[in-house]
Amino acid sequence: MSALVIADHDNEHLNAATRCTITAAGELGGGVEVLVAGHNCAAVADAAARCEGVSRVLLCDDESCRAQLAENIAPLVVQLAERYTHVLAAATTSGKDLMPRVAALLGVAQISDIIAIVSQDTFIRPIYAGNVLATVQSADSTRVITVRRTAFQSAGDTDNPAPVETVTAAGDSGLARLLEENQTPSERPELTGADVVIAVGRGLGNKEHLDLIEKLADSLGAAIGASRAAVDAGFVPNDYQVGQTGKIVAPRLYIAVGISGAIQHLAGMKDSQVIVAINKDAEAPIFQVADYGIVGDLFTVVPQLIAALNR
């Protein structure tokens, strides 16, 4: 019984979602090792080695891993996999890209987006936009899993770092090449890890009104999220989308502004600790999941809220 966690990182920082995956791997009851595949990414390996519960870090530092293309990383994971009963990654866009490729090369199923571990072969995962929870049992000897970050605590640091060993890359597959990467610039907390999220919907009407939401987010030190409609309308970048097919968040406080509350949106935020809804339509379904609702025009309510917070 041992688990290999594939680290999500940008060659400099370990993604906090990986810390939650390490916690999930620890619940399986065996040893937890972490693979850091990238280029000039020793700092990531050091961070992983300091995570509580990690017994060893495998570092694959190679030019062919720099862009972390699934085509190049999957063969490496497959080489290592036979030593482990479980291979896990966070259900980030990189984890979702990589892990099915790993599973298919191993000839096993992949178990997506688990929210609980029942036993070493049995897991709970949401289906149908989170309207149903399925308990699934795997018949495979290697279980390839992606983990929903918000369902597991983040692994802390220890003073006693695990050893870091190097492993050899599988090389460049020649199938894919990274041309360009555009990071959405943001001074705000990262959406999936934020304590407070202000989410904006189509009700904002127009991109020019976004500064109202920015000001509210400033007063609360919040991240900004959005409904699909707000992204499609161009109010905010694509990676702000919360929902079934966007990001899953579960902050301490989620404030939905001008969002109707479609099931696809609720799928991404209904596990938040406290939900506030501001909507002018008293019948909007978002009020069914909100702990506190204000029925009113956001252009009146939000400025009042900002003023009261800054008082």
Partner 1 sequence: MKILVAVKRVVDYNVRVRPMADETGVEISNAKMSMNPFDEIAVEEAIRLKEAGIADEVVLVSLGVSQCQETLRTGLAMGADRALHVETDVELQPLAVAGLLKAIVDRENPALVVLGKQAIDDDANQTGQMLAALLGWGQGTFACAVKIESGAAVVTREIDGGTRTVSLKLPAVITTDLRLNEPRYVKLPDIMKAKKKSIEKLAPEDFDLDITPRLQTLKVSEPPKRKAGIIVDDVNELLDKLRNEAKVI
Ligand X SMILES: Cc1cc2nc3c(=O)[nH]c(=O)nc-3n(C[C@H](O)[C@H](O)[C@H](O)COP(=O)(O)OP(=O)(O)OC[C@H]3O[C@@H](n4cnc5c(N)ncnc54)[C@H](O)[C@@H]3O)c2cc1C
Q: Look up residue 147 and give its amino acid.
A: V
Print the binding letters for residues 171-210 with ligand X: x by CB under 6 A, - otherwise: ------------------------------xxx-------
Q: What distance, in Å, lies between the first and last C-alpha atoms of the chain?
A: 56
At 302, give phi and psi (nearest 5°): -65, -45
39 binds ligand X (CB under 6 A): no
Interface of this chain with ligand X, residues 263 to 292, rule: CB under 6 A: 264-265, 268, 279-281, 284
CB-wise, 211 or 297, nearer to ligand X?
A: 297
SS3 139: coil
Q: Which of residues 214-243 bind ligand X (CB under 6 A)?
A: 227-230, 241-243
For residue 77, with 0-12 CB atoms within 10 Å meaning exposed, 13-18 middle and 19 or more buried, which class applies?
buried
Among 136, 164, 167, 233, binds partner 1 (CB under 8 A): 136
**Site map 34..63 versus partner 1, x via CB under 8 A:** ------------------------------
Give dist(CA 48, CA 76) in Å, integer.
18
Nearer to partner 1, 53 or 72 (CB): 72
- Residues 270-309, one symbol each (x = binds partner 1 by CB under 8 A, - = not), give x--xxxx-----x----x-xxxxxxx-----x--xx--xx
- What one-character DSSP code corresponds to residue 238? G
Size of the site for ligand X (CB under 6 A): 27
Shortest Å distance, C-beta 40 to partner 1 = 18
CB of 212 to ligand X, least distance (A): 11
- CA 99 and chain centroid, separation: 14
Q: Out of 81, 244, 249, 275, name the contact with ligand X by CB under 6 A.
A: 244
* Binding partner of 53, given ligand X, partner 1, none, CB within 5-8 angstroms per partner class: none
Phi and psi for 35 in degrees, rounded to 5?
Answer: -100, 125
Beta bridge partners of 62: none
Which of the listed partners (partner 1, ligand X, none) does 68 bind, with a CB threshold of 5 to 8 Å by partner kind?
none
Rounded CA separation 198/226 (Å): 8
Instruction: Say which DSSP state 279 is in.
Output: E
103-239-309 Cα angle (round to 5) = 135
Asked if 202 and 230 touch (Cβ cutoff 8 Å), the reply is yes
**Which residue among 16, 104, 233, 250 contacts partner 1 (CB under 8 A)?**
104
208 contacts 299 by C-beta, under 8 angstroms = no
Applying CB under 8 A, does 187 fall inside the site for partner 1?
no
- Interacting residues toward ligand X by CB under 6 A: 201-203, 227-230, 241-246, 258-260, 262, 264-265, 268, 279-281, 284, 297-299
